[in-house]
Amino acid sequence: MQATQVGRGLDALFKPRSIAIFGASDDVTKIGGRPLQFLQKYGYAGGIYPINRKAGLVQSLQAYASLAELPEVPELAVIAVPPAGVLDAVQECARRGVKTAVILSAGFSEMGEEGSRLQARIGEVARASAMRIVGPNCLGAIGVPDKSIATFSVALESSFPAAGSVGIVSQSGNLGSFTLRLAGERGLGVSRMLTTGNECDVDIADAIASLAADPGTSVILCCMETCRDGAKLMQAMAMAREAGKPLVVLKVGVSEAGSAAAASHTGALAGSDAVFDAVLRQGGALRVPSIELLLEVGHALSVVGPARVPGGHRVAVLTASGGFGVLLADAASAQGLVLPKLAAQTQERILSAVPFAAPSNPVDMTAQVSSRPEVLARMLDAVARDDSCDALILQSANAFHVPRLRDVFLGALEQVRKDHPARLILLCARAPDDVRARLNAMGFPVVEGIDAACATVAALLRFGARNRAPAAPPAIDRAPLAAEAFATEASAKAVLAEAGLPVPREAIARSFDEALAAAREMGFPLVLKIVSPDIAHKTEVGGVFVGVRSEAQLREEYNKLLARVALKAPRARIAGVLVAQMVQGGVELILGSKKDPVFGPMVMVGLGGIFAEILKDVALQPAPVDEAQATAMLRSLKAFPLLDGARGRPKADVQAAAKAIAALSRFAVRHADSVSEIDINPLVVLDQGRGAHALDALLVSEEQAMKDKQ
């Protein structure tokens, strides 16, 4: 069996010297007829070999009864036969040394157990040979420059895609085909398209990696439904990032966070879609919410070039109408963009061009810019020189459709591009195709709608902020965690403390005398908690008392606590009473980790206490994270002002909280083979310099998590 690196072995799919088509048909409405029709219609230059058991002529080409009869071994086989004949065709291809096969046929894992078994056998053939297999149940692939066509997509019936540098990958055939058609309508040139279908061998990570390695691709558009191999996907994203190729992802299928009963707050908050979001963000991919924005952002990146996209969130808006300025300001704010006040010098330069302009931001240039290109150029130049903005949006409703006005705008934009070659300037405008192409050639993306323009700029700036590759996390050795660590809160906190988590002083008392001795050593006030491997939620059985302030109160509450627990949980095994220092004040966070079945341990932090599951203000990252990443997670919370001294509050010890997050993430990775979930609620963050404390902790073992799923 030969191991295959992610994305390798797919060149023969996109630029094969020859192609065989199993199930080739004279009927161009059939799946086996259309690839053959397209190859001839659009001028594929390599050998085309129809395979049909009746032989003879198929669409005017000599057909063959089997692969063995061909005059050469094709590099690519397109398989469009009934499912029962697919395995034989694949095995024959493997024996003859075919490099790649695309299985268009359906009837496999999507049809149940029997289909799944057949699909698995096909996958085994791929793994045992050097052949890469796309599908089954896929729409296939296209190598645009070489006119390699292994698809039956209706998108090719009327025209062939223009060659360009945008690559398209999709698990869904229809989404991929629709994206291809929209790309043509949007004026995007395409390098390659690949749809992966059921993914018995080639998966979405292979597809991304192959485009990352393709010299003819500069931007990758991806329609994703799921991921079967998290490490492989992360490797593919790293390849795209290292190659400087933006990866824009439309991830469909949002799962409910709490669909299954969770043993901890962490389990309820770390839903699968949030995991995908975090993984894509860490991998440098740019996630978009719609297929329309997928095309707009992809087009803008192809026009601007990723190297010219800055990070940030500050924009300047220029219009010839105050009303449009307000609309754009509202739309930009809705996307999280900020319109800063322009510098005094910038405003002076604007007013020197048009004394009655509104020079702040948005800039109302007035209709004066419609008559003289030098006036528009001066205003654009003034704002382009202002470092308070990361990007500019120039809006025009009708100028590019009126020849006189079009010439004014084009002249000004040519001058601005010459003077500011690296400045990100997006046009919110309608324009004829020829004018749009000219503007694109100058490096100006053109987006028609106001909301779409602001969403596109926001996406570009998010990409720019992530464009710097993060340092690779240090390797962490895996180690099993002893079974007793999962027994109680006390045992969980003990192993977490060894890993660097801050835990208050505490001791397990098995008698009142031991409780009293612990209290005298720690000092009051104290907290009492029942310790039992059979009680996960202590408050529900009256197993917690907060605020013990004297020895007399300690005796009274110690006895009451045991009596309440004995009444409400008579069968619970009691290991003692936890006597802990009481932490007062601070901000409560929830901190945790949950092992995702695809991507492994994810670390999460959010607002804690009773608001955790109500507000769901959480930040999620694949583990491990360092302290800088943990700080960024905290700063991304809507509740961060509570930590940062809002409304006169003292600033909290954010550094201590970040250290706790980083320590927990390392612990989660080290013990990933035995720990499914970790829940620390609350983590109390005290005033700056006073640290943080994990007041409660729960560890859920892999074994217990498996039982809960059954």
Single out the residue of 469, 473, 470, 490 nearest to residue 666, CA to CA: 473
pLDDT tens column, 370-389: 777 788 899 999 999 999 99
Compute the average pLDDT of residues 265-289.
Answer: 78
Compute the average pLDDT of residues 75-81.
Answer: 98
| 109 secondary structure, DSSP code | G
Same domain (yes/no): 530, 610: no
| CATH number, domain with residue 456 | 3.40.50.261
Confidence at residue 268, expressed as pLDDT on a 0 to 100 scale: 44
Range of the domain at 420: 310-466
Give the SS3 label for residue 591: strand
Position 416 confidence tier, pLDDT thresholds 50, 70, 90: very high
User: Is the distance from CB of 44 to CB of 149 less than 8 angstroms?
Assistant: yes
Preceding omega of 362 cis (within 30 degrees of 0): yes
Stated as kind and residue range, the H or E segment containing 425 is: strand 425-429
The b/e string for 51-80 (b: 16+ C-beta within 10 A; e otherwise) is bbeeeeebbebebbeebeeeeeebbbbbbb
Compute the average pLDDT of residues 45-73.
Answer: 95
Confidence at residue 262, expressed as pLDDT on a 0 to 100 scale: 35
Q: How far is CA 150 from CA 18, 424, 624, 651, 706, in A?
A: 12, 38, 41, 61, 42
Same domain (yes/no): 701, 613: yes
Give the SS3 label for residue 602: strand
Q: In this structure, what token pair is assigned to residue 556?
A: 């009274």
| Number of domains comprising the chain | 4
Same domain (yes/no): 61, 140: yes
Confidence at residue 608, expressed as pLDDT on a 0 to 100 scale: 78
Same domain (yes/no): 31, 90: yes
Instruction: Name the E strands within 470-553.
Output: 506-509, 526-531, 544-548
N- to C-terminal Cα separation, the chain: 35
Instruction: Classify residue 703: in a domain, yes or no.
Output: yes
Stated as kind and residue range, the H or E segment containing 460 is: helix 450-466
Instruction: Name the E strands within 27-162.
Output: 47-51, 57-58, 61-62, 76-79, 100-103, 132-134, 141-143, 148-150
Same domain (yes/no): 357, 384: yes
Distance CA 420, CA 384 (A): 7
Is 80 exceeded by the pLDDT of residue 468?
no
- Give how far the C-alpha of residue 702 lies from the chain's centroid of Cα atoms, to the nearest Å: 26
Confidence at residue 613, expressed as pLDDT on a 0 to 100 scale: 63
Instruction: Classify residue 475: in a domain, yes or no.
Output: no
pLDDT tens column, 154-174: 999 999 999 999 999 999 999
Confidence at residue 321, expressed as pLDDT on a 0 to 100 scale: 84
Q: In this structure, what token pair is assigned to residue 43?
A: 């001028």
User: Is the distance from CB of 192 to CB of 142 less than 8 angstroms?
Assistant: yes
Distance CA 690, CA 667 (A): 23
Domain boundary among 466, 491, 518: 466
Same domain (yes/no): 419, 281: no
User: Given the DSSP bridges, would you call strands 47-51 and 675-685 parallel, antiparallel or unpaired?
Assistant: unpaired
Distance CA 633, CA 690 (A): 21
User: Is the distance from CB of 13 to CB of 76 less than 8 angstroms?
Assistant: yes
Choose the weakest-confidence range: 88-97, 252-261, 552-561, 578-587.
252-261
Phi, psi of 240, rounded to the nearest 5 degrees = -65, -40
Give the SS3 label for residue 168: strand
Q: How far is CA 704 from CA 45, 541, 617, 700, in A?
A: 60, 22, 27, 6
Instruction: Classify residue 136: in a domain, yes or no.
Output: yes
Same domain (yes/no): 42, 96: yes
User: Is the distance from CB of 605 to CB of 664 less than 8 angstroms?
Assistant: no
Residues whose CB falls within 8 Å of the CB of residue 439, separated by 6 or more in sequence, listed in order: 410, 413, 427, 431, 446
DSSP 280-336: HHHTT-EEESSHHHHHHHHHHHHHH-GGG----SBEEEEES-HHHHHHHHHHHHHTT
Position 405 confidence tier, pLDDT thresholds 50, 70, 90: confident
Q: Residue 5 burial by CB count (10 A; 0-12/13-18/19+): exposed, middle or buried? A: exposed
Identify the sign of the CA torsion 102, 106, 110, 116.
Answer: negative
Is 60 exceeded by the pLDDT of residue 266?
no
Instruction: Classify residue 1: in a domain, yes or no.
Output: no
Instruction: Classify residue 336: in a domain, yes or no.
Output: yes
Distance CA 519, CA 548 (A): 10
Q: In this structure, what token pair is assigned to residue 363?
A: 């800039």
Position 308 confidence tier, pLDDT thresholds 50, 70, 90: confident
Confidence at residue 615, expressed as pLDDT on a 0 to 100 scale: 66
For residue 28, the cross-strand partners are none
Residues whose CB falls within 8 Å of the CB of residue 404, separated by 6 or more in sequence, listed in order: none
Of 472 and 559, the structure prediction assigns the larger pLDDT to 559
Distance CA 276, CA 263 (A): 21
Domain boundary among 581, 596, 629: 581
| CATH number, domain with residue 654 | 3.30.470.20
Same domain (yes/no): 681, 700: yes
Distance CA 190, CA 304 (A): 16
For residue 591, the cross-strand partners are 605, 680
Quickly count: other Cβ atoms within 10 Å of residue 106's Cβ.
18
Same domain (yes/no): 460, 518: no
Distance CA 194, CA 433 (A): 28
Position 333 confidence tier, pLDDT thresholds 50, 70, 90: very high
Calculate helix-pair angle for 204-212, 230-242, nearest 10 degrees: 20
Distance CA 675, CA 332 (A): 43
Instruction: Classify residue 473: in a domain, yes or no.
Output: no
Compute the average pLDDT of residues 417-440.
Answer: 95
Instruction: Classify residue 564: in a domain, yes or no.
Output: yes
Stated as kind and residue range, the H or E segment containing 622 is: strand 618-622
Same domain (yes/no): 572, 597: no
Same domain (yes/no): 458, 323: yes
| CATH number, domain with residue 190 | 3.40.50.720
Instruction: Classify residue 249: in a domain, yes or no.
Output: yes
**CA geometry: angle at 516 spanning 513 and 522, to 5°?**
145
Confidence at residue 536, expressed as pLDDT on a 0 to 100 scale: 81
Q: In this structure, what token pair is assigned to residue 265?
A: 């707050």
Compute the average pLDDT of residues 52-80.
Answer: 95
User: Is the distance from CB of 694 to CB of 683 less than 8 angstroms?
Assistant: yes
Is 50 exceeded by the pLDDT of residue 489?
yes
Compute the average pLDDT of residues 446-471.
Answer: 87
Calculate helix-pair angle for 373-384, 403-419, nearest 10 degrees: 40
Query: What percent of the chain shows pLDDT beyond 90?
Result: 82
Same domain (yes/no): 105, 248: yes
Position 469 confidence tier, pLDDT thresholds 50, 70, 90: low
Residues whose CB falls within 8 Å of the CB of residue 333, separated by 6 or more in sequence, listed in order: 339
Domain boundary among 303, 325, 351: 303
